[in-house]
């Protein structure tokens, strides 16, 4: 007898083999997408960190001194010699007028972290956003254990985090035009 059809058992075996292949393929695709998302988060966190630190350090080098410093707790810390978690820092750029740079940390409801804002005045709160995903920025005076009002430079420790991706960047910069 020469039957040219497919038996029920052959059909079930081929469907189960096909289902297994589809499940394996889908699990590989899903794990690849998760890995891609994690890598994209790592890259985005690094980009925000590098841009924020580079921008801030460039402005520090052109400043003369720290005009004002307020920790995230709201306390003015200009005469402190301890590390401060940054809330707002104002850098004076010219002795004869009131020009300077302001950097402040603001809560960002979209990222659930903080944003770093920048302004070009001693009295303007930052309005230009230069960084996101900031968990904290800690500041040290340079030389260490000098007050911020007498600091010749600053060290910043940026903690930047998005989901499971995080980076810590430590940067130092000295005032080129330092004046007390």
Q: Is 17 domain-assigned?
A: no
CA dist., res. 151 & res. 94, Å (int): 16
At 177 the pLDDT is 75
Identify the domain containing residue 164 by its residue range: 37-174
Asked whether residue 158 is assigned to any structural domain, the reply reads yes
179 in any annotated domain: no
Q: What is the DSSP letter of 41?
A: H
pLDDT given at position 138: 94
User: Is 118 within a domain?
Assistant: yes
Q: What is the length of the chain?
A: 180
Give the per-residue pLDDT at 2. 63
Query: What is the structure's pLDDT at 39?
Result: 92
Asked if residue 9 belongs to a domain, the reply is: no
In a domain, 97, yes or no: yes
Residue 78 CA to residue 76 CA, distance in Å, equals: 6
In the chain, which stretches have pLDDT less than 50? none
Do the domain assignments include residue 132? yes
């Amino acid at each position: 007898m020469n039957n040219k059809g497919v038996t029920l058992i052959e059909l079930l075996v081929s469907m189960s083999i096909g289902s297994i292949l589809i499940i394996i393929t889908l699990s590989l695709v899903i794990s690849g997408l998760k890995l891609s998302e994690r890598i994209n988060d790592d890259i985005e966190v690094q980009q925000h960190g590098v841009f924020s630190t580079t921008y801030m350090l460039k402005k520090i080098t052109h400043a003369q001194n720290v005009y004002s410093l307020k920790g995230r707790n709201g306390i003015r810390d200009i005469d402190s010699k301890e590390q401060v978690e940054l809330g707002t820092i104002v850098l004076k750029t010219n002795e004869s007028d009131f020009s300077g740079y302001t950097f402040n940390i603001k809560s960002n409801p979209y990222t659930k972290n903080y944003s770093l804002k920048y302004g070009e005045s001693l009295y303007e709160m930052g309005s230009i956003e230069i960084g996101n995903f900031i968990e904290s920025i800690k500041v040290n005076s340079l030389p260490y254990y000098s007050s911020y009002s007498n600091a010749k430079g600053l060290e910043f420790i940026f903690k930047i985090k998005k989901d499971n991706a995080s980076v810590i960047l430590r940067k130092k910069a000295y005032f080129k035009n330092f004046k007390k």
